[in-house]
Amino acid sequence: MKFATKAIHVGNTKDPITGPIVPPVHFASTYVQKEAGVEEEYDYSRSGNPTRTAFQKTIASLEDAYGALAFSSGMAASHGVMMLLNSGDHIVVSSDI
């Protein structure tokens, strides 16, 4: 697929419950769990939601990447990057980070 086709179609699968081809934006912060302690695909919006999953699939496809990560805030993105560092690593940043 070419870029434009990927941008339109990848990550946009028909919603099995309501039927739209372009997925709706999900604003839920928590999701119903079938049973306590049993992990589901979505439990809390900080760990993931259907909207972000679709966006990540689209971005990964456009970049011909294995995967992509999207964050809900700059602080979350900064934390994600910092978690890749080891003790003793050095970084160079601006003074207003």
- 14 in helix, strand or coil? coil
pTM score over 0.85: no
Q: According to the model, what pLDDT value does residue 60 have?
A: 93
CA distances from 32 to 13, 73, 81 (A): 22, 24, 30
Q: What percent of the chain has pLDDT over 90?
A: 19
Per residue in 53-63, pLDDT (tens digit) is 888 998 999 89
50, two tokens = 């259907």
The conformation of residue 39, written as its DSSP 8-state character, comes to -
For residue 1, name the pLDDT band (cuts at 50, 70, 90): confident
**Element housing 96 (H / E):** none
How many C-beta atoms lie closer than 10 Å to residue 9's C-beta? Answer: 14
